[in-house]
């Protein structure tokens, strides 16, 4: 699969790319996202499109040794990088799963909270709706889904370049999605809220099942 091979290769540079784009060199945004879930000791939480595992590791601190974090991604390269990080930090409460997030191998109401970090825009078209359906299926009642993404740049020139990048990468419907994302989330979740972070370069959107 061409897209899968791309992310396997990109895994080697992914962390540096995110730090450069978000200007977050200390992973403070990932820890902030983990806090927004409300997850605590003993909880079982899921990190969608976990990539190299930065959010999963932040969540592992919150749920503690009696809890469990599951990081799911379709890229073996990304998951291998995530496993290396966890082993290097002596973290034992994360399970890594290679699978398609549009059809996840989990039972209903399996998780107290679900996260997604800088990955949701990479989903194409109807895949976003299918993932949101999977999130509501696998999250317990009143559990939270929290997504962190790059926000639309305020500078007109940078905004145009942002949309060009999205188009070139094949995400032709992303502009409409960006303009309608809150209303889409409100179709699946209650109490949807948006918070801008890092001077508007990124945002966190959370809702309750």
Q: Kindly list the structural domains of the chain, giving each domain's residue range(s) and its CATH number in brackets, ordered by start.
A: 2-208 (3.40.50.150)
HSE, CB side, 13 Å, CA atoms: give it for residue 171.
Answer: 20
**CA nearest neighbour of 201 among 24, 38, 56, 42:** 24
Tens digit of each residue's pLDDT (9 = 90 or more) over 55-74? 999 999 999 999 999 999 99
Which pLDDT score is estimated for 3?
A: 62
Tell which phi-psi region holds residue 85, choosing left (phi > 0), alpha (psi between -120 and 50) or beta.
alpha
* The predicted structure's pLDDT at residue 86: 96
Over 70: is that where the pLDDT of 16 sits?
A: no
Give the pLDDT of residue 199: 64
Residues 174-200: what's their mean pLDDT?
A: 83
What is the mean pLDDT of the segment spanning 96-121? Answer: 95
Q: What pLDDT sits at residue 94?
A: 98
38-52, 76-90, 103-117, 187-201: lowest mean pLDDT where? Answer: 187-201
| Helix-then-strand count for the chain, H and E | 8, 7
Residue 6 confidence (pLDDT) above 60: no
198: three-class secondary structure by DSSP: coil
77-97 pLDDT per residue, tens: 889 999 999 999 999 999 999
pLDDT at 149: 86
pLDDT (mean) for 201-209? 92
Label residue 107 by pLDDT band (50, 70, 90): very high
- For residues 145-162, give the mean pLDDT: 77
Burial of 177 (0-12, 13-18, 19+ CB in 10 A): middle
Does the pTM of the predicted model rise above 0.85?
A: no
Predicted confidence at residue 162, as pLDDT, reads 64
| pLDDT(31) > 70 | yes
**How large a percentage of the chain has pLDDT more than 90?**
56
| Per-residue tokens: 183 | 């209303």
């Amino acid at each position: 699969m061409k897209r899968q091979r791309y992310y396997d290769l990109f895994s080697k540079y992914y962390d540096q790319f995110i730090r450069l784009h978000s200007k977050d060199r200390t992973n403070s945004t990932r820890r902030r996202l983990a806090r927004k879930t409300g997850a605590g000791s003993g909880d079982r939480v899921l990190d969608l499109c976990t990539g190299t595992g930065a959010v999963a590791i932040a969540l592992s601190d919150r749920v503690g040794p009696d809890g469990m974090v599951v990081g799911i991604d379709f890229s073996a390269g990304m998951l291998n990088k995530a496993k290396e990080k966890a082993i290097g930090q002596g973290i034992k409460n994360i399970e890594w799963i290679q699978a398609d997030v549009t059809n996840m191998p989990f039972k209903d109401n399996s998780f107290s909270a679900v996260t997604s970090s800088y990955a949701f825009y990479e989903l194409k078209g109807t895949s976003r709706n299918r993932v949101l359906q999977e999130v509501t299926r696998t999250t317990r009642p009143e559990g939270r889904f929290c997504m962190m993404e790059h926000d639309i740049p305020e500078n007109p020139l940078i905004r145009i370049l942002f949309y060009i990048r999205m188009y070139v990468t094949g995400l032709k419907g992303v502009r409409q999605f960006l303009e309608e994302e809150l209303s889409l989330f409100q179709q699946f979740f209650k109490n949807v809220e948006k918070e801008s972070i890092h001077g508007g370069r990124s945002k966190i959107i959370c809702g309750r099942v």
